[in-house]
Amino acid sequence: MIENGTVKSVCDICARGCGVLIDIKNGVPVKVYGDPNCSTNKGKLCIKGLASLDYLNHPDRLKTPLKRIGKRGEGKWQTFSWNEALDEIANAMLKAKEQQGAESVAFMHGAAKGYRDSYPARLANVFGTPNLAWQGHVCAVPRAMGAQFTYGTPLTCDFDHPPACVVVWGANYADTLHYNHNRLTGAAGKGAKIIVVDPQKIALAGKSAMWLRVRPGADLALALGMINVIINKSLYDKDFVDSTTIGFEQLKSHVQYYTPDKVSQITWMPADDIINAARMFATTKPACIILGNGIDQSINSFQTARAAAILNAITGNIDVPGGMIRPTPTPLVRRKGAELELWDKLPENAWNKRVSADLNLLPPVRYMAGQSIIKAIVDEKPYPIRCLYIQGCNPLLTYSNANQTYDALKKVDFLAVADMFMTPTAAMADVVLPAAGYLEYDSVEAAQPQQKVAQVGDCKSDYQMISELAVKLGLSEHFWSSEEECLDYLLKPSELTFADLRQMDKVPPKVQTKKPSDFPTPSGKIELYSGRLAQWGYDPIPAYHEQPETPYSDPELTKVYPLVLTSWKAAQYRHAGGRQIERLRKKHTDPVININTDTASKLGVSDGDWVYIENQRGKIKQKAALSSDIDPRVVIADYGWWFPEKGMSDLYGWAESNINVLTDNNPPYSPEMGSCNLRGMQCKVYKA
């Protein structure tokens, strides 16, 4: 760490790779601001990144390991050393392994989306347990897998050659990914037609050519209706389809069911809007589709991503400037990959013991659906989970069916949690470990150097914690002797060391000698019909399935709970994090539910009133914000809410405004991904 000067680094509060510059004075970071030379954010930071020093210096940071001395959740702790804390955790894990097998130990990690996601997976595999969960099944992985099973490779929208049309589907980038929002508004400023698909009128909708107010959870029906229009009106690119895809005739036959009138009924959208959106996308070239988290959270998650990929393909918007292009590969060890996570160290018979084996997810899926671990703890089926290690995750707020998650955290024999702050989940632990923030350790993030500029208390990076725990478990040979050695390993394909990267903006992309002509699918073509999916028993062409607890799947439920519930994320927070940061909380003080003005009037609710949102699983309380833009049958609640100021006695009010009190973790799930239904269920709203 330097004494005075400016350090180049990368913010990973949301792990998306915004370059930052950090001014250091007398060894202390005094300012964090955007790096104008970073091609990702071009000098701009979101409100979360601008609060980096608020996170670093917050008085409530955990600074030393804590051991529970009272009843679980009572809030009585004593400090102890790292050596003692890691001994305690290792002993609990080894005891469970000896008595009931390695699979009785489970790991959970959050959504860092960086290399630190892979360190607990590496430890789990060498320890011998298949039971590692993260939220990939409801965040990003369905989109990635949908592209994989259609193109064989990820594709990205080419903003360098501005698209003429962009569909922004289930993504509110103004609040969740500001640099993509800037790219989109820039494209709109150059004349691009923007089509927004979202139940909420997000900021970008004001700059859009069309806003499609789809019923929450009905996105796949809309995509199939657009495919129907494009094919039946001969708006597809016949030459591209004939030369580059397989399965067109099967697709054409399949989508005849999804007429605009039929899809209008499912989606609550005018048939003319479906036709006009399809026509605009197909005839305004080049075009691309950007998918967001909104499509990941239903039984149709994977197939919605597949349908979007098919829309790109049949319109010929693949491998063209301004369309969907193959990203230039970066020579790094792959995050979440077999090499880094040591998949080969977990025997097949151990993998077959995973608690979600009965879900029969896609063979490439290497995670547990989080609800499977929760249910295994509570029900002890297919066997008990005795020991749970949670890294950078607050499942009491972020997992569906929060009440059952609470039961699981209360019941498990031993719980260890690593986090920067005490959270409702950490407050239930036996051992709490103080985690470092991004200013406190070196890493490689988004192919850029993240550099340590501070040290808070005895906080350790995720790698340090996991590798030191591995030593206690007798597994040190599978980890590196220092974090820098680990980073050098990650950089090995680039022939750089981390010392080299410190002097650079980012790892140079791999030079491609020629453009690939084929797609890395079994057929070598874009697969509109997937033979692999058919062989494995999944829908080979996307087919819409109505979710449970909707006006169509359960009309009787609608009589009691007449409103459709979905959720939104505020710009100030990432998931459940940040509510204790004063500058962020001042901008968004209370949880807010968006309600149609006329609906609120009928309910006797005024703008700013506190209301209860209730369904058969429970009720929560949020503050009403009224708008005429929302469908009168839909309400949109705030996600991730707890109240650090309420203290530990009530676990920080974890159940008061937490939307996951209302969500379900029971089947049906996405057959391919195990995704729960987090959007589109029924509820009722009344004044508190």
pLDDT in tens, 456-482: 999 999 999 999 999 999 999 999 999
Say whether pLDDT at 512 is over 80.
no
277-303: string of b/e by CB count within 10 Å (b at 16+)?
bbebbbebbbbbbbbbbbbbbbbbbbb
pLDDT at 16: 74
Q: How far apart are CA 457 and CA 436, in angstroms?
A: 9
The SS3 of residue 133 is strand
High-pLDDT (> 70) share of the chain, %:
99
Q: pLDDT grade, residue 1 (50/70/90)?
A: confident
Query: What is the residue-averaged pLDDT of the chain?
Result: 96
CA distances from 630 to 595, 600, 626 (A): 7, 11, 9
Say whether pLDDT at 10 is over 80.
yes
Residue by residue, DSSP assigns 153-199 as S--EE--SS--SEEEEES--HHHH-HHHHHHHHHHHHTTPEEEEE-S
For residue 92, which amino acid is it?
A: A
Quickly list H helices, 523-655: 531-536, 555-560, 582-587, 597-603
Say whether pLDDT at 429 is over 60.
yes
Q: What is the mean pLDDT of residues 75-87?
A: 97
CA distances from 94 to 100, 345, 405, 472, 651 (A): 10, 18, 24, 10, 29
Say whether pLDDT at 514 is over 60.
no
Q: How far apart are CA 89 and CA 91, in angstroms?
A: 5
The SS3 of residue 314 is helix
Specify the pTM. Answer: 0.97
Q: How far apart are CA 670 and CA 199, in angstroms?
A: 21
Least Cα distance to 673 among 311, 370, 219, 388 occurs for: 370
Residue corresponding to tokens 């799947």: 553
Say whether pLDDT at 513 is over 80.
no
Q: What is the mean pLDDT of residues 218-233?
A: 98
Q: Between β-strands 526-527 and 245-246, what pairing exists: parallel, antiparallel or unpaired?
A: parallel
CB 644 within 8 A of CB 602: no
Q: pLDDT grade, residue 250 (50/70/90)?
A: very high
- CB-based burial label for 597 (10 Å; 0-12, 13-18, 19+): middle
Q: How far apart are CA 652 and CA 642, in angstroms?
A: 6
Q: What is the mean pLDDT of residues 475-497?
A: 97
pLDDT at 307: 98
pLDDT at 109: 94
Strand partners, 537: none
Say whether pLDDT at 406 is over 70.
yes
Q: What is the mean pLDDT of residues 88-93?
A: 98
Predicted confidence (pLDDT) per residue in 297-313, tens digit: 999 999 999 999 999 99
Say whether pLDDT at 511 is over 90.
no
Domains in the chain and their CATH numbers?
5-56 (3.30.200.210), 66-134+339-357+364-434+451-482 (3.40.50.740), 149-326+517-536 (3.40.228.10), 555-687 (2.40.40.20)
Q: How far apart are CA 612 and CA 610, in angstroms?
A: 7
pLDDT at 516: 63
Predicted confidence (pLDDT) per residue in 336-358, tens digit: 999 999 999 999 999 999 999 99
Q: How far apart are CA 443 and CA 447, in angstroms?
A: 10
Q: pLDDT grade, residue 113 (50/70/90)?
A: confident
Q: What is the DSSP letter of 63?
A: -
**Three-state secondary structure string covering 442-505:** CEEECCEEECCCCCCCCCECHHHHHHHHHHHCCCHHHCCCCHHHHHHHHHHHHCCCHHHHCCCC
pLDDT at 569: 95
Q: pLDDT grade, residue 510 (50/70/90)?
A: confident
Q: What is the mean pLDDT of residues 181-203?
A: 94
Say whether pLDDT at 586 is over 80.
yes
pLDDT at 284: 98
High-pLDDT (> 90) share of the chain, %:
92
Q: What is the mean pLDDT of residues 527-535?
A: 98
Those residues whose C-beta lies under 8 Å from the C-beta of residue 124, and which sit 6 or more positions away, are: 107, 130, 131, 132, 346
Q: What is the DSSP letter of 302?
A: H
Those residues whose C-beta lies under 8 Å from the C-beta of residue 477, and which sit 6 or more positions away, are: none
Q: How far apart are CA 85 and CA 393, in angstroms?
A: 19
Quickly list H helices, 32-176: 47-50, 52-56, 82-100, 118-127, 141-148, 173-176
Q: Between β-strands 18-25 and 28-34, what pairing exists: parallel, antiparallel or unpaired?
A: antiparallel
Those residues whose C-beta lies under 8 Å from the C-beta of residue 206, and which sit 6 or more positions away, are: none
Say whether pLDDT at 293 is over 90.
yes
Say whether pLDDT at 74 is over 70.
yes
Say whether pLDDT at 243 is over 90.
yes
CA distances from 24 to 6, 30, 439, 455, 537 (A): 6, 6, 12, 13, 57
Least Cα distance to 362 among 301, 292, 313, 289 occurs for: 301
Q: pLDDT grade, residue 17 (50/70/90)?
A: confident
CA distances from 196 to 49, 221, 266, 290, 324 (A): 26, 16, 18, 10, 18
Q: What is the mean pLDDT of residues 604-611?
A: 98
Say whether pLDDT at 499 is over 90.
yes
pLDDT at 114: 87
CA distances from 173 to 66, 142, 183 (A): 38, 19, 10
Residue corresponding to tokens 């809007």: 273
CB 378 within 8 A of CB 407: yes
CB 283 within 8 A of CB 241: no
For residue 384, which amino acid is it?
A: P
Say whether pLDDT at 621 is over 70.
yes
Q: What is the mean pLDDT of residues 251-264?
A: 98
